Structure 1
Amino acid sequence: MTPSSLTTSSLTRRLFLLSVLWIAPALVITGIILTDLFRTHAEAELSRRMAQHLDELAAVLEVTPDGAVALARDLSDPRFRRPLSGLYWRVDGPGDRVLRSRSLWDQALDLPADTPKDGEVHRHSLTGPNRAPLVAWERSLRLPGAATPVRAAVIVDASDVQAATAGFSRVLGVSLALLAAGLLAAAAVQVRLGLGPLRRMRAALADLRAGRSNRLEGAFPGEVQPVVDDLNLLMEENRTMVERARAQAADLAHALKTPLAVIANAAAAPGGMDPAVVAAEAERMRGQIERHLARARAAPTLLHSSGGTVVLPVLRQIARTVARLHTERGVDIQIDGDARARVRADPVDLQEMAGNLIDNAAKWCTAVVRVTAVAAGGGIVITVQDDGPGIPADRRSDVLARGARLDEAVPGSGLGLTITEELARLHGGSLSLETSPTGGLSVSLHLPQAAR
């Protein structure tokens, strides 16, 4: 399997293969280490036993009156007396005389040329009867009454250690194979259980696509829940934007209905169509279309405004524009508030929300419109107060209905407050209507505060 296929395969397959990639080498290395430890221990134990045999052989050696070397008694291990048992001894005495254990029977077993120093034990590898691998331990002894040192050696068949090591390796291999199977099974179960939340998420997405739900439902682990929350938020934002697009289409249709009716009436008039009326209504429709196109262009940034917008400069710009529209009435628009106030909204949307409120207040005020922007409750509150007639408390909910107008004599489409409330809600804010200290209307626009 190539690295690219591993990264593009399913998570279950990738996690299981990664488990195999660490379990298999780990168990192989463990097997090698344990086998080597067993071999080392077996050889150390064999060396200890052979050192005891060598000490016993040295203890039973004696020099006869004629100067020859002999055994005072047989060694305790009966294998030294059983022919070709795999355990032997040999003593090279003065005058090239050689003593051998009965277990060598008629076999000759020569030691390599060597002269160990007093107290030293040398080890040699030999080939014994039936070409069996042998290991010899020898030492040089000075016996009382002997003219020259005596060379004593004990020899053992090493195939026993090799067979024991091979047997241990087979048992260990089977054990590690069973352990590997168990670990892989546990890894498979772990992968399946661990990926269970993703399968539940896939099922929830299938329900979402099939229309059986409108969000991802269910409880998920802490590692997955943020993804689910983000997906739900994204879907909610998409639904909100679709609803906003539908509302904008309805707003545009509503705004164009009156100019079209005026043009139709002008066309049906007995004196013919008045070009001035047509031009005025066409300009009115063009303004409505441009306004809604600007809102559509601002839509992608509606829910993702990052840097935020400083409030007071926008309010002052709007105040200057609205004041020019009401020059003949001498409307005084006062702007005050926190110069550092910054809202989490696009400048275009803030202009539209605040512009609707200030323009509406200027239409209904007697002389003064007061606008403030202050931080409150973790957000920014923009309050627009006028000294006009106000709105009765039992009618305030009516003015927020789409297209509602309490006085048809005042120009307008009846959409200003509705659009402002809609934009505020989409930005995570709200709109509230109260009575101003001067008896007019006080409109508070609550928007989330952006980081300064």
Structure 2
Amino acid sequence: MIRSLRVRLMLAATLLAVLFMLALLPAMQGAFSLALQDSIEQRLASDVTTLISAARVEGNHLQMPAQLPDERFNLTDSRLLGYIYDREGHLVWRSKGTREENINYKPRYDGRGNEFARISEANGQEFFVYDVEVKLLGGKSAAFSIVALQPVREYEVTLEGLRENLYLGFGAALLVLLALLWIGLTWGLQALRRLSQELDEIESGTRESLSEQHPRELLRLTGSLNRLLHSEREQRSRYRDSLDDLAHSLKTPLTVLQGVSEDMAQRPEDRDQAWVLQTQIERMSQQISYQLQRASLRKSGLVRHQVRLRPVLQSLCDTLDKVYRDKRVRVAFDLPEHCYVPIEQGALLEMLGNLLENAYRLCLGEVRISVRETLSGIELCVEDDGPGVPPDQRARILQRGERLDRQHPGQGIGLAVVKDIIESYNAKLTLGDSPMGGAAFRIHFPVV
């Protein structure tokens, strides 16, 4: 399927132009043919007039001069043929060029005056005939048919030459027309190209809304897009404010409950109940964080985010180095200096924070983060040299509440959050084995 609007319009215009020219060609060829036949008729009429002016009647007999005014009648190899017949259709004179021709033509002498026709001979030859009935010659009463003939072959050669020139002319005209159409379409679609550029600027964050410097036909579209952008920003802002208010309102009760549990833990008889309470409070806190994070995930809509990856990774690794300072994890970066990923910065921090925290916690001492560009997009990979994940458990650990590591506290929602974030940006998460020996989490961001 052709996705270019300019190419579609060009193909449609080309088809219409070709159909128009194909319909016009027969009409023009017919017009040329009629014009050429009219020209032949007029020339033969002039030749007949030459014969009439040279003819004399003496003693009821036709007398023709030895040399006619038109030299073509005097040449034996001339293609202009002249005949004169009497009333009964008997041939009484013929020009010198007719001696090699055997034409079986009989004039009708029916009182119509003159006739222009096309005749065919038994041998396949065709001729144009102009036949004039004459009743007076040199002021004397006479009855003759004076005929001038011309082979049709010359007409067909001329018509074929005209047809070839017509095809060449139409072909050249079609090429010029298509070139002009391409230039016109390119100029006419500049408005759409400017609109596309402005949308790219909005997606990259360098522009807030579409301008009004567009053709009238596009103003309604740009106005609707601007209203959509404004509505989306307001909705996202209200939603984030509501989430912040909810998180703040839940934070205080959880803090109070946490303090009560700590007080209970000081009393030996309540230590077991305090542990249960603290576990449930921690689970509630993690579940609230997960649900808030999940609810805040939204596709970027008309705004396309691009975040530089290295500073985010460096900041997260510096923090995790302090948390796991006794482990002394070595982190290797295999990515371009100026590498960008198509995701919002907050979502990127949440996603990489969970993946890197898992890698730091489970690795033996090495973690590697790499980026590889492919034809279909960008692939981000987080690997470690830890125990890895068995193939039959990989699908399960991406589900909410599922964990393989029971030695460390947690509710098993980190990878579920990562999965939700990745899917909200139309990306894909795959879990496999790393050449380092541990797990390899690969995130593929498609081309946008």
Normalised to the residue count of structure 1, the TM-score between the two structures is 0.50
Match of 1:222 among 208, 216, 225: 216
Match of 1:77 among 63, 70, 73: 70
**Matching residue of 1:17:** 11
Report the RMSD for the aligned CA atoms in angstroms: 3.8
Deviation string, structure 1 residues 33-58 (Cα, Å, up to 9, x no partner) = 33322221121122122122223323
**Matching residue of 1:387:** none
Residue 243 of structure 1 aligns to a residue in which SS? helix
Deviation string, structure 1 residues 183-220 (Cα, Å, up to 9, x no partner) = 11111122222222323333333333344444345833
Cα distance in structure 1, aligned partners of 2:241 and 2:91? 120
Deviation string, structure 1 residues 54-73 (Cα, Å, up to 9, x no partner) = 233234333332x4322257
The answer to whether 1:135 aligns with 2:132 is no
Structure 1 outlier segments of 4+, above 6 Å: 144-148, 257-269
Q: 1:164 to 1:140 in 2, by over 3 A?
A: same
**Matching residue of 2:181:** 187
AA matched with 1:89: G
Asked if the contact 2:82–2:95 (Cα under 8 Å) also holds between the matched residues in 1, the reply is yes
**Matching residue of 2:155:** 161
Deviation string, structure 1 residues 293-344 (Cα, Å, up to 9, x no partner) = xxx9xxxxxxxxxxxxxxxxxxxxxxxxxxxxxxxxxxxxxxxxxxxxxxxx
Cα distance in structure 1, aligned partners of 2:208 and 2:145? 96
The answer to whether 1:250 aligns with 2:244 is yes
Cα distance in structure 2, aligned partners of 1:21 and 1:181? 13
Cα distance in structure 1, aligned partners of 2:142 and 2:27? 46
How far is the alpha carbon of 1:243 from its aligned partner? 0.7
Deviation string, structure 1 residues 160-199 (Cα, Å, up to 9, x no partner) = 3322222222222222211111111111122222222323
Cα distance in structure 1, aligned partners of 2:185 and 2:100? 67
Asked if the contact 1:122–1:137 (Cα under 8 Å) also holds between the matched residues in 2, the reply is yes
**Matching residue of 2:311:** none
Residue 121 of structure 1 aligns to a residue in which SS? strand
Asked if the contact 2:81–2:149 (Cα under 8 Å) also holds between the matched residues in 1, the reply is yes
AA matched with 2:242: Q
Q: 1:146 to 1:222 in 2, by over 3 A?
A: closer
Task: Map 1:195-206 onto structure 2 (within 5 A).
Answer: 195-206=189-200
How far is the alpha carbon of 1:157 from its aligned partner? 2.2
Deviation string, structure 1 residues 347-379 (Cα, Å, up to 9, x no partner) = xxxxxxxxxxxxxxxxxxxxxxxxxxxxxxxxx
Asked if the contact 1:50–1:137 (Cα under 8 Å) also holds between the matched residues in 2, the reply is yes
Cα distance in structure 2, aligned partners of 1:17 and 1:223? 23
Match of 1:98 among 92, 96, 104: 92
Residue 113 of structure 2 aligns to a residue in which SS? coil
**Matching residue of 2:282:** none
Cα distance in structure 1, aligned partners of 2:205 and 2:112? 95
How far is the alpha carbon of 1:137 from its aligned partner? 1.4
Asked if the contact 2:50–2:70 (Cα under 8 Å) also holds between the matched residues in 1, the reply is no
Q: 1:15 to 1:225 in 2, by over 3 A?
A: same
Task: Map 1:34-433 onto structure 2 (within 5 A).
Answer: 34-65=28-59, 67-71=60-64, 74-93=67-86, 96-112=90-106, 114-127=108-121, 132-143=125-136, 149-216=143-210, 219-253=213-247
Cα distance in structure 2, aligned partners of 1:11 and 1:39? 42
Asked if the contact 1:118–1:141 (Cα under 8 Å) also holds between the matched residues in 2, the reply is no
Q: 1:83 to 1:131 in 2, by over 3 A?
A: farther
Residue 177 of structure 1 aligns to a residue in which SS? helix
Residue 140 of structure 1 aligns to a residue in which SS? strand
How far is the alpha carbon of 1:9 from its aligned partner? 3.1
Residue 216 of structure 2 aligns to a residue in which SS? coil
AA matched with 1:48: Q
How far is the alpha carbon of 1:255 from its aligned partner? 5.2
AA matched with 1:29: A
AA matched with 2:27: I
AA matched with 1:14: R
Deviation string, structure 1 residues 227-255 (Cα, Å, up to 9, x no partner) = 22321221221110111112222334455
Asked if the contact 2:212–2:219 (Cα under 8 Å) also holds between the matched residues in 1, the reply is no
Cα distance in structure 2, aligned partners of 1:104 and 1:263? 129
Asked if the contact 1:62–1:143 (Cα under 8 Å) also holds between the matched residues in 2, the reply is no
Cα distance in structure 2, aligned partners of 1:118 and 1:32? 33
Residue 16 of structure 2 aligns to a residue in which SS? helix
Asked if the contact 1:94–1:147 (Cα under 8 Å) also holds between the matched residues in 2, the reply is no
AA matched with 1:231: L
Asked if the contact 2:212–2:222 (Cα under 8 Å) also holds between the matched residues in 1, the reply is no
AA matched with 2:151: D
The answer to whether 1:31 aligns with 2:32 is no
AA matched with 1:230: S
AA matched with 2:133: S
Q: 1:94 to 1:181 in 2, by over 3 A?
A: closer
Normalised to the residue count of structure 2, the TM-score between the two structures is 0.51
Identical-residue share of aligned pairs (%): 21
Cα distance in structure 1, aligned partners of 2:230 and 2:87? 105
Q: 1:34 to 1:94 in 2, by over 3 A?
A: closer
Q: 1:126 to 1:98 in 2, by over 3 A?
A: farther
Cα distance in structure 2, aligned partners of 1:190 and 1:135? 49
Residue 129 of structure 2 aligns to a residue in which SS? strand
**Matching residue of 1:353:** none
Q: 1:235 to 1:118 in 2, by over 3 A?
A: closer
How far is the alpha carbon of 1:105 from its aligned partner? 2.7
* 5+ residue gaps, structure 1: 270-295, 297-452
Q: 1:243 to 1:124 in 2, by over 3 A?
A: closer
Greater radius of gyration (CA): 1
Q: 1:197 to 1:146 in 2, by over 3 A?
A: closer
